[in-house]
Amino acid sequence: MLPGVQPKLLELSTNEQLGALAEGAIDIGFAHPPFGTGDRLDVVEFPAEAIIAVLPDDGGTGGVSLAQVAAFGLILFPAAQGPTLHARMIDSFTSAGIEVRVVQEATRALTMLSLVSAGLGAALLPKSIRRLSFEGVRYAEITDATLPTLSLAMIASRRPQPPVVRRVWQVLSESDL
């Protein structure tokens, strides 16, 4: 796609990416809004993605209720990692009159999948996670509630960028992530 460009991919939280951009340690990041940008960042937002339930594989098929998800206990990212989204997810249960407890926190989706596979709870992850075939889990739509969607944005520091970074930004801005 871009001859001579060899990206180095790092797995960083949104807050870690914001810091790395400020320090000049990375050129482009992919983060989950909302985050304070002021006028320091260029931002391109992509369409938001639906959230689905990830459950221990019980051989079931089809959707599940929010109460069924809550019965497993929730494996969720720490509130500090995304306070607004975290609160909105918990509020989805509270608004439905369902008590939910967070049984485990994990900062990465693969860790969440491993914990679900081990039978330690259920997770709420973006629908695109279905692309991963992960033994011991099943993916299910939530049938009786609308959970918040997960937004994704491409971010870069608003400073003069090398031509190759500007070109990568342009290509990714025009793509259908």
Q: Strand 102-105 vs strand 74-76: parallel, antiparallel, or unpaired?
A: parallel
Evaluate whether residue 5 is within a structural domain.
no
Domain that holds residue 156: 14-47+151-173
- Give the pLDDT confidence of 103-113 residue by residue, as tens digits: 999 988 999 99
What is the reported pTM? 0.81
- pLDDT at site 148: 86
**Separation between Cα atoms, residue 38 and residue 136, nearest integer Å:** 43
Residue 72 and residue 129 in one domain? yes
The answer to whether residue 126 sits within a structural domain is yes
Cβ atoms of 101 and 74 closer than 8 Å: yes
Number of domains in the chain: 2
How many Cα atoms within 13 Å fall on the side-chain side of residue 170?
9
What mean pLDDT comes out for the span 67-90? Answer: 91
Q: Which two tokens stand for residue 88?
A: 């909105």
In a domain, 36, yes or no: yes
**168 and 116 in one domain?**
no
Strand partners, 64: 142
Higher pLDDT, 44 or 66: 66
Q: Is the pLDDT of residue 4 over 80?
A: no
